[in-house]
Structure 1
């Protein structure tokens, strides 16, 4: 009897340890462990590759969102390139380093919104002004918010008959260059949509316009078996939740959530409060990723929440809690200066993107261990 008991104990101990190891494998714990940053300038490429090897890979980051926009030497539309932009050869270096470290690259080009910033009109509307949703709103010499035009960022008109031919050329080319099976379309902070003065959009339902654009992009990507990722703020009712106009919608686009294809991946960002809207997106049938920025305390709570959701959810809900992603909204070079202590923002204190990144991944890797 003692021998049988001993064998049973060893059996349970051995196989229990295997099951525990399996349950805490990184991909089982959090399928997406992400990092989002602007694509580097060509002169910063070597530093970026070093950062991937020495900082992202050891933390078991497996997803890299690169905000490329027009920082690529497009062949389909060379008129839309930035004056200094990554070449296809340089992009292949990025692809190779990420492949070596089992990191998937997902390129981003801001679609629909964010076609301008402050006093600057970005390349798409500068070159193709006919795509502008609000051509009557002129860019100011000095930008201030709020303003009488309600101008935060320009949008292109989703119903313009020529816009998708141009936009999809860029999307297809950048996905091919990065050998990516997914594309991030941005779609955040869209304040201009269905403008009353737009000859195509005037009087139309804003939620239907937003959903129509998301699904149009999604359907185009699906033709080549690619997935669409977007930011989630326009799908949250900013008024009812009290979340407001930045991290939620105040122009009724939130109603689009019931009109979207369920295979769109939602990147749910909250920077001021650790709001638990990941549950809302998961209950609506979407895979959702929680995204902090520069508040380490919030990032810690958000990571703990995501781990708890995955640990306690039903078998139907668990796969939809997709993971965590650190976001960076400064240029890549500025982030590295902050990260390595080259420049210290004394005013920010501990509330920096680099501290947030370190805190989030310390918590993730503690859970993995």
Structure 2
């Protein structure tokens, strides 16, 4: 089968090259997830996604069948799961709203949803098998279970505040486990896969702390806290699934309170969960938000970042690395309501993932992949797939100049046209075409590729030309930058007033953070540029950060996100420039660094002897 896919990829417009290929995959788990709970996809749409993945030799289809957004698998034992739990009230304008999830007892006909009959599921599983794809089902427990618990509230918690619904299954009721075991039995009858995914992520444990039945369980089993109650819950399900000859897999929260003996970990909150599990001798599938959450924008996770991902962390020994089964890309659909939207988010990033988990590290080459990607995109064009391309790659993203600047722009691939605006408006299918141009100071150029067949617009590249250059020496300067701090709950980089600095810094990092999480920092002062030329500045952060030089935005990496990098390029003359870097942490993990690649030089942390303040 895979030889046939390779042959498909080799076929050119008029010929098939005469070659001999000996090939095998680096990893056994080469997966893609499709979330059908938040938004529902028909069996034909699911089959199309399986087809596209199989063409890239991706061999696992992770079917996220249940969540707060809806229950999508028919149950003969518990028919209310789909009679009620598959149909939710539709928020205004059809947008996803986590705070307004209601599954009405009586349907009006205006609800949103759908489900798969057991026969439809068997058909999809057989369809995938013929394409050498294993379908791994996910039945969420103990959290992300509102669709089930609004249909069967008796398996939820007691003693909740008036009007509050259960968000998770009660771990103190024996009837809860009998219910879930019957669901697992039905699931295993439909899916022959070795692994059964139980979710296990993002459990709201405040309800477990309030629930007297959960607290009774903690005391009866000698558990320390609700984390150990979650471990107890997972261990029971692990034991039951193992008794049926299958294996449990769950998101990395199943590590909390102790990992079940036979469990496999799917590491999504970065790579640390995967590292910890592998070091315990457990199997792991890597799926970190930083590289493989394909519902994130292409600005946050470009195709190149997916391609660069190596599933085996450097922290593992060679023996521990054998525990990494592979990697998986995830398409979560809160904001992806249609098949075309799902295709745009998945492709071509899924093709990059496919090569990252198939090809040996020593054979990987991004320039070579981009050359061969044209053939993949030609195939997607023939199939009518609504794929996206990355933003145009520009030689610079910012200029400080007193004169007009000349800008070379990249050529568009077959079937696409490069278009631009210079009046601040977004690029559209009717914006003017361009191959080279001059930009005057005070101009912002916005560039995007537009697909000719349907007018789809790629992510934009932005170039700003601002009048300016190095400033005169402002007087006595001291080493380092001033650092200002602010506590608070932020969703974007805030304005941090430069009143009372908390100190100075010669390194851009979080050593001056005022609290462990939910805070903002600002670094201000001057940066000395030692030679004229093109400079690339790279921010690596979790969450957002913005770098300005002479008030010109050079790197805009704002917004909530995991640890990712973003680079901006600017042409600078030798001399002193004002520098301003803002950062915020929205909670959870946090990191910040700033590096620079000078003309003809390697990337390094921004040198301390370049930084000054008054």
Give the structure-2-normalised TM-score: 0.43
Which residue in 2 is equivalent to 1:110?
A: 140
Q: Distance in 2 between matches of 1:196 and 1:52?
A: 41
Could you say what secondary structure the match of 2:174 adopts?
coil
Cα RMSD over matched residues?
3.2
Residue aligning to 1:313? 317
Partner of 2:263: 264
1:22-61 alignment to 2 at 5 Å?
25-26=24-25, 29-39=26-36, 44-53=42-51, 55-61=52-58
Aligned to 2:253: 233
| Aligned CA distance change for structure 1 residues 128 and 340 (closer, same or farther; 3 Å) | closer
Counterpart in the other structure of 2:59: 62
Describe the SS at the equivalent of 2:337.
Answer: helix
Structure 2 contact 306–353 (Cα < 8 Å) conserved: no
1:245 matched to which residue of 2?
A: none
Retained in 2: the 8 A contact 1:175–1:182?
no
- 1:138 and 1:50 map into 2 onto residues whose CA distance is 45
State which of 349, 352, 357 in structure 2 corresponds to 1:364.
357
* TM-fit CA distance, 1:75: 0.8
Q: Residue 289 of structure 1: CA displacement?
A: 1.1
SS of equivalent to 2:208: coil
C-alpha separation in 2, matches of 1:42 and 1:198: 33
Alignment of 1:79 onto 2:80: yes
Deviations 1:329-355 (A, max 9, x none): 1069736322545xxxxxxxxxx5556
State the Cα distance separating 1:275 from its structure 2 match: 4.2
**Correspondence 1:192 to 2:205:** yes
User: 2:436 — aligned with what?
Assistant: none
CA distance in 1, matches of 2:314, 2:33: 22
In structure 2, what is the Cα distance between the partners aligned to 1:25 and 1:68? 31
2:149 is aligned with 1:167: no
1:324 matched to which residue of 2? 327
- Answer yes or no: is the 8 Å Cα contact 1:194–1:202 preserved in 2: no
> Is the Cα–Cα contact under 8 Å of residues 37 and 332 in structure 1 kept in the other structure?
no
Cα deviation code 1:162-206 (max 9, x no counterpart):
111111111110221123332110010012267343222238322
Q: Which structure features the higher share of helix residues?
A: 1
Q: Is the 8 A contact 1:113 1:154 kept in 2?
A: yes
Pairwise CA distance, 1:208: 2.0
Q: CA deviation at 1:138?
A: 4.9
Establish whether residue 224 from structure 1 lines up as the match of residue 244 from structure 2: yes
State whether residues 338 and 354 of structure 1, in contact with CA within 8 Å, keep that contact through their aligned partners in structure 2: no
Partners in 2 of 1:214 and 1:115 — Cα distance?
Answer: 15
Q: Check conservation: 1:134, 1:154, Cα contact below 8 A.
A: no
In the TM superposition, residue 290 of structure 1 has moved relative to its aligned partner by 1.2
2:279 matches 1:283: yes
State the distance in 1 between where 2:267 and 2:338 align.
22
Is 1:215 aligned to residue 235 of structure 2?
A: yes
Contact 1:37–1:328 under 8 Å retained in 2? yes
Q: Secondary structure at the match of 1:317?
A: helix
Unaligned runs of 5+ residues in structure 1 are 1-17, 117-121, 141-150, 236-253, 342-351
Quote the offset at 1:115 in angstroms: 1.9
Equivalent-residue separation in structure 1 for 2:201 and 2:303 (angstroms): 21
Instruction: Evaluate the alpha carbon distance shift between residue 307 and residue 42 of structure 1 in structure 2; reply closer, same or farther with a 3 A threshold.
Output: closer
User: Counterpart of 1:136?
Assistant: 160
Residue 157 of structure 1 is aligned with which of 166, 170, 181?
170
The structure, 1 or 2, with the larger RCO (C-alpha pairs under 8 Å, 6+ apart) is: 1
The equivalences for 1:327-338 within 5 A come to: 327-330=330-333, 334=337, 336-338=339-341
More strand as a share of residues: 2
Task: Flag the 1:127–1:39 CA change in 2: closer, same or farther, 3 A.
Answer: closer
Q: In the alignment, is the contact (CA less than 8 A) between 1:36 and 1:65 conserved in 2?
A: yes
Alignment length, in residue pairs? 293
TM-score (norm 1): 0.69
Matched-pair contact (CA < 8 Å) for 1:175–1:181: no
Corresponding residue of 2:596: none
Instruction: State the 1:103 CA deviation.
Output: 1.3
